[in-house]
Structure 1
Amino acid sequence: MTHLPSTEAAVTALRAIAAEYAREIEVTHDIGADQTSRRTSAGVGVTADPDGSLPHEAHVELGGRPNVRVRLYPDEDALITVDGVECPDIDRDDVPAFLRSLYDGHAWVKARRFPPGHFLMVPLPRDRVHKEYILVGLSPWLARRTR
């Protein structure tokens, strides 16, 4: 697994994945403590964190199915949304592996009989699986992956 030391390094990795899987990619950046979502207490016009660093957050949208959006936070984690299913607190280093699992067809939806429910299951390196409860209805892409 490659360590992605910055938001920009993660964006570069996502651009490579988009090219590898022939996906369109759209990236927007929020730079500065007054712009990033987790620094709302910074105040108007305050761009640097108290330690002098400049926080950088990126929003990435990948084309095709499933619909995938990635929000890369300055705190080395990410929120990945797959067809409306939010997967929070993904380690930034795991984002490329998460997307490869989706695009290579390794992710699946686990159906639970009682109580009824569905979970998005995404294999990650080192024999880990990210499991996320699906609150929304199943998209056609998610429904085709139900086991």
Structure 2
Amino acid sequence: MGHPHLPTTEAAVTAIREIADAYRLEMTVTDDIGADRTSRRTASRVFTVLDADGSLPHEAYLELGGSPAVSVQLFPEDDAKITVDGVEFADVPRDAVPAFLRSVHGGLAHVKGRLFPPGQWLIVPLPGDETYKELISHGALSPWMARTLR
């Protein structure tokens, strides 16, 4: 895919900070470093402190100010969970996070309603025909989502 490779959580945090600066959004970061601090350690054995490459597992939780409310949880396993106004996008590849945020804050992300099956979806298009979509819980349209309804 056409995403720049973000080899570490730190590289992803730096890339997200640049996007926050570009869109003049406040950003808070909480870092959890070490196997005892990270939430998911599926790939490691019990009592394993270092990742396979010898580094400490590093997870970060970021919140971006403004509208929509966006939070990003970066996991050591090269993926992320992005929440946009309460709608969760799980298993987003870490390398796709910057493009995802640019789509949301750059006006490309939108809500699409359907009659059959009924529901409203938050759609986040990325460059190169990649699209993420999640069903919005009934009646959970935020003011930002309502403005993007197509």
Shared fold, TM over 0.5: yes
Matches within 5 A, 1:30-41: 30-39=32-41
TM-score for both structures, normalised by structure 2: 0.90
Q: Hey, what's the Cα distance between the residues in 1 that align with 2:31 and 2:80?
A: 14
Does residue 26 in structure 1 map to residue 28 in structure 2? yes
Q: Which runs of 5+ in 1 are unaligned?
A: none
- C-alpha RMSD of matched pairs (Å): 1.7
Q: Hey, what's the Cα distance between the residues in 2 that align with 1:50 and 1:100?
A: 32
- Residue 119 (structure 1) shift: 0.8
Does residue 131 in structure 1 map to residue 133 in structure 2? yes
- Residue 43 (structure 1) shift: 5.6
Q: Hey, what's the Cα distance between the residues in 2 that align with 1:114 and 1:12?
A: 41
Q: Which runs of 5+ in 2 are unaligned?
A: none
Find the counterpart in structure 1 of residue 9 from structure 2.
7
TM-score for both structures, normalised by structure 1: 0.91
Find the counterpart in structure 1 of residue 147 from structure 2.
144
Q: Hey, what's the Cα distance between the residues in 2 that align with 1:26 and 1:42?
A: 31
Find the counterpart in structure 1 of residue 71 from structure 2.
69
Find the counterpart in structure 1 of residue 90 from structure 2.
88
Q: How many residues align?
A: 146
- Residue 139 (structure 1) shift: 0.6
Task: Indicate the SS of the match to 1:48.
Answer: coil
* CA contact 1:34–1:42 (8 Å) conserved in 2: no
Q: Hey, what's the Cα distance between the residues in 2 that align with 1:5 and 1:27?
A: 18
Kindly provide the CA deviation profile for residues 30-70 of structure 1, in whole angstroms up to 9, marking residues without a partner as x. Answer: 011111110288667x5324664310000000000000000
